[in-house]
Amino acid sequence: MRTEDSKRVAVVAMNDGFYVTRVDGGGHEVIMATMPDFIHDLSKAELHVHLEGSIEPATLLEIAPALSIEEITARYRYDGFIEFLKAFGWVAMHLSTPRHYAIATRRLLARLAQQNVRYAEITLSAGVVLRKGQDLDAIHQAVREAASESPVRTAWIWDAVRQWGAEPARRVAEAAVSHREDGVVAFGLGGDEAGGQARDFGSVFRCAKDGGLHLVCHAGEVTDAESVWQALECGAERIGHGIRAIDDDALVRHLAEREIPLEVSISSNVCLRNVTSLEHHPVRRLYDAGVPIVLNTDDPPMFQSTLEGEYRIAADAFGFTEAELRAVARNGFQYAFAWQPDSKP
Ligand SMILES: [Zn+2]
């Protein structure tokens, strides 16, 4: 053992790598593995990643060769959430054929497989597809075929854009229900949280639920804890982000007692300044309060994040121990809607 600071932390050499441990009363609690292998080797699930937001600049250039890489990279920089939404929409507008969606799916799943992700629930902005007037069935078939080539088991969440109102969202929900036996496991609500309250979509969520789908909702990312309460009233089984729950003790207790998970994406929240700084991110406090936490990337190249990176940030910035990170990784499978351990590696 090589001790760097006997009062606080120590670096311990073990058979499978080096571990930074917290020294406490003669005991050692592992707080991070300095070798990348531990986090890499961990079997992980990704439950909150947007297909359109997963497209690397180089892939978008391949899809839309009339663009320049300079233009694309400039678009991947934004000052806050609304500018990000515009960039996301701009990327999505360039996906003009089912083949483009299939390319995006292949690239995303290849990157997830490299990170030892075994299962992914990918969010497709079905509301955007319908608004573009594209053939949603053909796109679904193309992404399903692309996903079938991957070792990563995949299920789909179709989400609606809240600022466009309830009727377009209902069309998404109805279309999602029609593909319930065909890989779509949930209906979700995304877009500009300040531009549409979940409560206004109550009948749409009911339609999806009655049709046999699970429900998810972005909430408490940009606005407040009240938004999370509304998502729960609508039947959301997982909350996208939900970080503002930290402002409401009763909500934190509710999430912990009912075991309702938050899909946390630390890099996304920091990049879009939905927290004032990394150190102010509430992931540690929410976890310590017993709220189930799942780590996710949201839109990886748009926030320069990876799933492994999110686990490392949890370790480095918030002192998550190896045991805690293993528990977080298990949450990814426990709270998945369609994970079957024996179905695929
Ligand atoms: Zn999201």
Spatial distance between the Cα atoms of 173 and 226, rounded to a whole number of angstroms: 24
Q: Give 111-169 pLDDT, tens digit per residue.
A: 999 999 999 999 999 999 999 999 999 999 999 999 999 999 999 999 999 999 999 99
Spatial distance between the Cα atoms of 107 and 104, rounded to a whole number of angstroms: 5
Catalytic residue at 237? no
Section 83-104 average pLDDT: 97
Q: 212 C-alpha vs ligand 1 centroid, how far in Å?
A: 22
CA 99 to chain centre: 24
At 243, the amino acid letter reads I
Sorted by sequence, the CB contacts under 8 Å of residue 306 that are 6+ apart come out as 111, 115, 297, 300
pLDDT tops 90 at residue 33 = no
| Residues 288, 320 contacting (CB under 8 angstroms) | no
The active-site residue, picked from 221, 263, 308, 322, is: 221
pTM: 0.89
The kind and range of the H/E element at 329 are helix 322-334
Q: 222 C-alpha vs ligand 1 centroid, how far in Å?
A: 11
Q: Which CATH number is 36-334's, of 1.25.40.10, 3.40.50.10240, 3.20.20.140, 3.30.365.10?
A: 3.20.20.140
Spatial distance between the Cα atoms of 247 and 243, rounded to a whole number of angstroms: 9
Q: Give 170-223 pLDDT, tens digit per residue.
A: 999 999 999 999 999 999 999 999 999 999 999 999 999 999 999 999 999 999
Please, which pLDDT band fits residue 226 given cuts at 50, 70 and 90?
A: very high
Please, which pLDDT band fits residue 3 given cuts at 50, 70 and 90?
A: very low
- Number of other residues whose CB lies within 10 A of the CB of residue 187: 31
3-class secondary structure, 160: strand
The kind and range of the H/E element at 319 are none
The DSSP 8-state label assigned to residue 259 in this structure reads T
Q: 301 C-alpha vs ligand 1 centroid, how far in Å?
A: 13
**Span(s) in the chain for CATH 3.20.20.140:** 36-334
